[in-house]
């Protein structure tokens, strides 16, 4: 029988009636947020940190996460099994899968569905006497925690400087070098990222940033997770993997179109499904995900072709892959985190073949990606969870925001068009950070009459 780590105990219970909780305000400057549109999860405090010393490369580390979460006894006062989430570990993992990482089990996890009719809270404590005896007063306590705690509440800041780690010319040269590797047969696809640092006039107010992002991209998953580099925040459109019981779902995105008005060098949305280059780029991603998931499933449905995924600025090719996980001899199925390890990095953010593409990324990109394009999400005590690809995102610390955008390079890619695409994706991120300010990769200061 597993012993609870540190003697931790938990209880899951409904919130008492009252005005709905604002998840963005509750997460504030230092909480965890995972907002899918259908469900919002907010994590407050830190009851436990579960280390992954070898990242996603150690099966024993992944198993330890499973056993640690399952060993925390959780008294369910909520009602029917399967409603809400019990003890959960959140994480934003580095792009480099072998780098050390960790998951955070919050002291309080607050959840709500899209309608706001189902609200609940899971409390993790050191002793049963520290668990709430009932839900009375919990809502009022949470509302008091939504008061602004730092930064300029609701204010929109201006950037004072934007610096790209690669000039337009050097980024195009990176793409050209990748095309040489493709022509030589070393890789079939590689994703290259352009990274940009933005200095704001004051400390970034995280709650307002996340709320703006949700308004811009209501169909994306908005997230905020603490990392050693500050807070990793974003609005990702790409589902890496979701597990619910034995059901598994992944929706990779690859292939990009610009705004309907047309963007020089980028295929318009109406032609995206017919684009041979984008179709090839997308096919490589879907094939890799099918290859990883099929051995783990008793059935797997892979549609014969992609559909269009429309966002605020961009349109992507997407394919919804679903299946049923096969049980092992002992009846267990892979947890959501084990599935992340089986999939990451997909060719949507790495390349084909993966190892050679990642070596090329490390050689060509000017600095490590950190959390950009890494998995971000959660796994619960039953092994269920949802993990997004950490794109359309930035790392924020104080006044500084570090953002990145990647483009998939395949045979037929053109360096100038890939530069345009990278800047379009950076614009989608920048618009949430500094709405109304034109995005530029020029190092000339902006926000004081010189917006480039």
Residues marked active site are found at: 189, 238
Q: What DSSP state is assigned to residue 21?
A: P
Phi and psi torsions of 346, nearest 5°: -75, 165
Closest CA to 175 of 354, 418, 441: 418
* Angle subtended by helix axes 168-183 and 415-433, to nearest 10: 130
Burial bucket for residue 86 (CB in 10 Å: 0-12, 13-18, 19+): buried
Phi and psi torsions of 400, nearest 5°: -95, 140
The three-class DSSP label of residue 343 is helix
Q: Are 50 and 102 in contact (CB under 8 A)?
A: yes
Closest CA to 317 of 221, 268, 252, 242: 252
Only one residue has tokens 């926000």, namely 447
Angle at 311 between CA 245 and CA 219, to 5 degrees: 35
Strand order in the sheet with 321-325: 48-52, 101-105, 88-92, 375-380, 385-389, 239-244, 247-251, 321-325, 297-301
Q: Are 221 and 90 in contact (CB under 8 A)?
A: no
Distance of CA 135 to the CA centre of its chain: 32
DSSP H helices, 48-105, are: 59-70
End-to-end CA distance of the chain: 63
Q: What DSSP state is assigned to residue 5?
A: G
């Amino acid at each position: 029988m597993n012993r609870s780590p540190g003697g931790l105990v938990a209880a899951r219970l409904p919130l008492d009636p009252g005005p709905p909780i604002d998840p963005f305000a509750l997460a504030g400057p230092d909480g965890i947020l995972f907002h899918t549109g259908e469900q919002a999860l907010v994590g407050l405090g830190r009851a436990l940190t579960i280390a992954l010393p070898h990242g996603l490369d150690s099966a024993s580390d992944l198993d330890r996460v499973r056993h640690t979460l399952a060993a925390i006894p959780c008294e369910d006062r909520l009602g029917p099994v399967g409603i809400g989430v019990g003890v959960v570990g959140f994480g934003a993992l580095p792009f480099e899968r072998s780098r050390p990482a960790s998951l955070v089990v919050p002291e309080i996890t607050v959840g709500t569905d899209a309608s706001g009719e189902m609200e609940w809270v899971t409390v993790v404590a050191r002793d049963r006497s520290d668990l709430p005896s009932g839900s009375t007063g919990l809502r009022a306590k949470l509302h008091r925690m939504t008061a602004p705690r730092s930064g300029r509440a609701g204010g929109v800041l201006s950037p004072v400087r934007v610096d790209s780690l690669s000039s337009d010319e050097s980024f195009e040269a990176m793409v050209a070098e990748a095309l040489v590797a493709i022509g030589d047969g070393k890789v079939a696809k590689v994703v290259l990222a352009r990274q940009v640092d933005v200095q704001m006039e004051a400390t970034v107010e995280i709650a307002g940033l996340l709320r703006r992002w949700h308004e811009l991209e209501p169909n994306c998953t908005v997230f905020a997770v603490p990392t050693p580099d500050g807070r990793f925040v974003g609005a990702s459109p790409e589902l890496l993997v979701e597990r619910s019981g034995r059901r598994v779902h992944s929706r990779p995105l690859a292939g990009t179109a610009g705004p309907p008005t047309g963007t020089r060098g980028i295929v318009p949305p109406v032609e995206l499904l017919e684009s041979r280059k984008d179709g090839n780029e997308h096919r490589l991603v879907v094939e890799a995900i099918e290859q990883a998931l099929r051995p783990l499933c008793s059935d797997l449905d892979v549609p014969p072709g992609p559909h269009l995924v429309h966002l605020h600025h961009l349109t992507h090719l997407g394919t919804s892959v679903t299946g049923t996980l096969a049980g092992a001899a002992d009846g267990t199925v892979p947890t959501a985190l084990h599935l992340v390890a089986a999939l990451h990095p997909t060719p949507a953010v790495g390349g084909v073949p993966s190892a050679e593409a990642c070596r090329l990324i490390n050689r060509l990109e000017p600095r490590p990606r950190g959390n950009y394009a890494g998995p971000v999400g959660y796994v619960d005590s039953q092994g269920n969870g949802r993990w997004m690809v950490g794109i359309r995102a930035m790392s924020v610390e104080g006044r500084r925001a570090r953002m990145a955008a990647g483009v998939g390079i395949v045979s037929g890619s053109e360096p100038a068009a890939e530069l345009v695409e990278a800047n379009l994706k950076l614009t989608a991120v920048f618009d949430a950070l500094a709405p109304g300010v034109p995005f530029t990769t020029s190092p000339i200061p902006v926000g004081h009459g010189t917006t480039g």
